[in-house]
Structure 1
C-alpha cells in the first residue's frame, strides 16, 4: 500500500536547435566550385507537450470540528459533529492509469486527550462515522465508505470498531470510470461510557489517499 497524493508521469520534450549560416562574398571561378553550391535541409520534429493528470485530495477550509452532546442515553454519552467536505480529483486520462489500479481515502483518529490532564484519555475506538457522498462527476465508480460505530454500539448494526483505518471514499478498479471529482463528508459520533471523566478532549483525524493496484 502506498500513499499517493499526486500521480506524475514522465513527459518527453524536444529542444530545437537553430542553425545560422554566413555566405562568402565575391565571385567564385567555375573551376574552383565544380559541383556548384547546394542547400542543406535541416529538420526537427517538435512533439506537443501536455501536463500529466493528477490524483489529489483536498479538505475544505475549517477550524476543526467541535462535537456537541446529542443523543446520550443510559448506555453511553454521545457527542456528534460533521467532518468537513473532502474532495478527490482525478484529472488523469485512462492511458495514464495502470490497469487494475484503484484508490481510497482512509481515516484514522488519534486518542482523545484531556487538556487539563494528559492521563485522561478516550480511545479512537469510541469514535464512529457515517460517510455521505455529496457529489460525483465520474460514471458512478466512486462510493462512500461504510458506516462505523463506536465500540459502544449505536444500535444501527454498523461494525462497532471505531475510527481506526476506515474508508471514507473509494473507487473501483475501472480506470476509465474513476476520472472526475468526488466530494464526501461524514457524520461523526463519539460514544463514551456514561462515567467518562469530565474535561475538554482533543483528537486528530488523519485522512490519507492511498493508490493501490
Structure 2
C-alpha cells in the first residue's frame, strides 16, 4: 500500500553576536586625536528562514453530496452527483523530492446504510466515478484517474469494480518532473439493481493522498 510521507528540511540561519568593550586608560591627548573615522562598522546579513515545501491535498468546502435519480432503466436504478473539487499542491523544490517518487489521491467508499434500518445496505462496489483534471499538466506528469463503474455495468466499458481504492489523481513515476498545483473533480454514479430497497442511504467517501518511491 502506498504510504504518505512529507519531505521535511530545516534550514537554520546563524547570527553572529558581538559584544562591544569600552576602552579605558587613554591619555587626554590620545583621546583628543581619535576621530570619527576610527570607528568600526559592524554589519550582519541575516538570511530569511526558508520553510520546507510540502505535498498537500484539500477538498473544497462542502455540505456533502446528494445523489439524485438520473438514468435509471428497467434493469437498473441510477443516482448521480458531483464530487467537490479536490486540490493537490506540491511546493517542494526538486532537490527535496527523492528520485522516482510519485503520489496518488485514492478514493474509498464505505458501505451505504439506510437511515433507521442498518439491515438495508448497498456496497461500495455499486458506486462509480469519472474523474476529470481541471488544471492542465504541462508535461503530462499528472493525470486524472481512470473511470470506474458500478458492478452493474453502465455500458461505457469502464471497469466494473466500484469505488474500492480507486485513483482520482496520480503523478508520474517521478514527482519532480512537474511541481505545482492541480485540481480534479469527478462525476459520481450509484448504480443498483432495479429492486433495491427504498430508503435514505448514507456512505462516506474517503480521499487519501499517498506518497511512494
* Aligned-residue offset at 1:138: 4.7
Aligned to 1:72: 72
* Aligned-residue offset at 1:176: 3.2
* Aligned-residue offset at 1:15: 3.4
Contact 2:105 2:210 in 1 (8 A): yes
Number of residues of Structure 1 aligned to a counterpart in Structure 2? 202
Could you report, residue by residue, the CA deviation over 1:43-62 in whole angstroms, capped at 9, with x for unpaired residues?
Answer: 98855532221211111111
* Unaligned 5+ runs, structure 1: 28-41
Could you report, residue by residue, the CA deviation over 1:64-97 in whole angstroms, capped at 9, with x for unpaired residues?
Answer: 1100001111221100000011011111111111
Contact 1:132 1:186 in 2 (8 A): yes
Aligned to 1:119: 119
Give, in whole Å, the separation in 1 of the partners of 2:70 and 2:14: 63
Q: Tell me whether 150-159 or 103-112 shows the greater mean CA deviation.
A: 150-159
Matched, 1:92 2:99: no
* Aligned-residue offset at 1:137: 5.3
Give, in whole Å, the separation in 1 of the partners of 2:79 and 2:152: 13
TM-score of the superposition, structure 1-length normalised?
0.86
Aligned to 2:110: 110
TM-score of the superposition, structure 2-length normalised?
0.86
Aligned to 1:3: 4
Aligned to 2:192: 192
Could you report, residue by residue, the CA deviation over 1:160-212 in whole angstroms, capped at 9, with x for unpaired residues?
Answer: 11100000000012333220111100010001111111000000100000011
Give, in whole Å, the separation in 2 of the partners of 1:26 and 1:69: 97
Matched, 1:151 2:151: yes
* Unaligned 5+ runs, structure 2: 28-41
Could you report, residue by residue, the CA deviation over 1:16-65 in whole angstroms, capped at 9, with x for unpaired residues?
Answer: 222221212344xxxxxxxxxxxxxx998855532221211111111111
For 1:125, what is the secondary structure of its paired residue? helix
Give, in whole Å, the separation in 1 of the partners of 2:138 and 2:204: 30
